[in-house]
Structure 1
Amino acid sequence: MPRPNHSERTRSQIVEAAVALIDAEGLEALSTRRLAAELGVRGPTLYHYFADKNSLLEAVRDRIATEIWTGVETRLADIESGDWERILRGYVDGALSAMARHPRAIGLMALGAATRQSTLRGYETMLGRLTECGWPLGLAWQIFLSAENLMLSAALEAGQPEFAPPPEQTAELPLLRALAGELAADPSLDDGYETGLDALIAGIGVTLGAYRNPGTRAPH
């Protein structure tokens, strides 16, 4: 019996179908049986391309990671070297825009070691841009991780419903009752992402100032 043709096109189709299924119904909906049904093939066919479900999930991670870093590099392309604030904002905005297209895959992307080549190349790009700003490598890494953690938190929160507790639940909670009224009048108050990013940028500016002026102590 001839060996099956393991074409990259077919492998890519499987990964795209898996991403679409996760986007539509969540990670728990993904199984080899369900995916095979979506593709109109027999379950064992998938094992010609992926040894098991874990290897399929790794391919899904790589697919989404590539999308994330492509978006980030597009945002960074027109930012001048040394402009660390715009570089960090470009990273967070670009990565968050990509993750917003896959809100049900956020947990998947946050799990596991960062060994995907697309992710490692992205890290290399960010470290390069930040060390160009004059920061030592270790500090650049810590600052990048802070921005990445904020991005993942914001991506996770973006998929949650707005905070709007029923009046009967806040009858004896005056601050939350007042907050609910303010949120109803101005829904943008329920988005802490911009405030968090502004605070992160401001704190990094203080840290950078302390690094460049050793007589000034950075906050801990």
Structure 2
Amino acid sequence: MIPRTDADELTEQPRIPLSRRRVLRAAVRLADRDGLDSLTMRRLAQEVGVEAMSLYHHVANKDAVFDGLVEVVLGEIMAAVEEVEAPSPDEDWQGALRARILAAREVLLRHRWAPRVLETRASTSPIFIAHVDHIVALLRAGGFSYELAHRALHVLGSRALGFTQELFQPDDAQSTDAAAAAMMEQMAEQFPNLVGMLADAVHDDPDGTLGFCDDQFEFEFALDLILEGLERRRTAGS
């Protein structure tokens, strides 16, 4: 047996104990790198370097992992929203809310799979409820009645978290340009107006998207329309 030396002890890396936080962070990393569909318990176990059975001490099943993903992403959103530089809502509620929503969107641009998970789980999360409470507080500081704040939440919808659910979205929102062109060619005769509009709207999006026709310009354009309309209602007292 070769005796251990002081150098061996110095270079040996301590084993990081498995925890729920470590498992969820690995799940986020795996989804970021390989997509949400790659996230299985077996792949997740490989990501953290353990047997799959070891995961069940920290997450009960895949649904629990997805709940945890929402927890992690919403936590990042809350941190981003709290740290963003924004005007005081009692002086400029539109600027304050706009800055916070765009900060939330920046988080989702790092985790492009997140909208798929948030759409099914966010509303039951205490962190999501806290996020909505902050938005209501901001609107109230900006002069909104509770009634108009309620309506504003309905109008904002998923934009409050930095993404939109589009009216028209192909089954594969990440389809290639060739596939999109083929789809439009097939639809052209039956739906000429829609295809003409989509063909006109095709453009390069170097920053990527969070969904079909949800690039940064379109997102901000729609958000500004909403904020301007709400301001008109606020000043009209309705």
TM range (shorter): 0.7 to 0.9
> Partners in 2 of 1:106 and 1:178 — Cα distance?
25
> Which residue is 2:151 aligned to?
142
| 1:165 and 2:191 aligned | no
> Which residue is 2:62 aligned to?
53
> Which residue is 1:79 aligned to?
87
> Partners in 2 of 1:178 and 1:137 — Cα distance?
38
Q: Cα 1:178–1:111, aligned 2, differ >3 Å: closer, same or farther? A: closer
Shift of 1:176: 5.7
Q: Cα 1:177–1:144, aligned 2, differ >3 Å: closer, same or farther? A: closer
Shift of 1:89: 0.6
> Which residue is 1:100 aligned to?
109
> Partners in 2 of 1:134 and 1:99 — Cα distance?
29
> Partners in 2 of 1:187 and 1:56 — Cα distance?
31
| 1:207 and 2:233 aligned | yes
Shift of 1:14: 0.7
> Which residue is 1:3 aligned to?
none
Residue 31 of structure 2 aligns to which amino acid in structure 1?
I
> Partners in 1 of 2:62 and 2:188 — Cα distance?
49
Shift of 1:87: 2.0
Match of 2:139 among 122, 127, 130: 130
> Which residue is 2:126 aligned to?
117
Shift of 1:118: 2.1
Q: Cα 1:138–1:175, aligned 2, differ >3 Å: closer, same or farther? A: closer
Residue 103 of structure 2 aligns to which amino acid in structure 1?
G
Aligned CA RMSD, in angstroms, stands at 3.3
Aligned residues between the structures: 201
> Which residue is 1:19 aligned to?
28
- Please tell me whether the aligned partners of residues 96 and 152 of structure 1 are also in contact (alpha carbons under 8 angstroms): yes
Shift of 1:54: 1.6
SS for the counterpart of 2:19 is helix
Q: TM-score, normalised by structure 2?
A: 0.69
CA-to-aligned-CA distance 1:166-200 (integer Å, 9 cap, x gap): 7x93997699669757856x869974222212211
> Partners in 2 of 1:22 and 1:198 — Cα distance?
31
Shift of 1:148: 4.0
Q: Cα 1:48–1:182, aligned 2, differ >3 Å: closer, same or farther? A: closer
Q: Cα 1:64–1:106, aligned 2, differ >3 Å: closer, same or farther? A: same
- Please tell me whether the aligned partners of residues 61 and 108 of structure 1 are also in contact (alpha carbons under 8 angstroms): yes
- Please tell me whether the aligned partners of residues 22 and 104 of structure 1 are also in contact (alpha carbons under 8 angstroms): yes
> Which residue is 1:69 aligned to?
78
Q: Cα 1:31–1:80, aligned 2, differ >3 Å: closer, same or farther? A: same
Q: TM-score, normalised by structure 1?
A: 0.74
The unaligned stretches of length 5 or more in structure 2 are 1-16, 207-212
Q: Cα 1:132–1:115, aligned 2, differ >3 Å: closer, same or farther? A: same
> Partners in 2 of 1:49 and 1:162 — Cα distance?
38
- Please tell me whether the aligned partners of residues 50 and 56 of structure 1 are also in contact (alpha carbons under 8 angstroms): yes
> Partners in 1 of 2:176 and 2:219 — Cα distance?
14
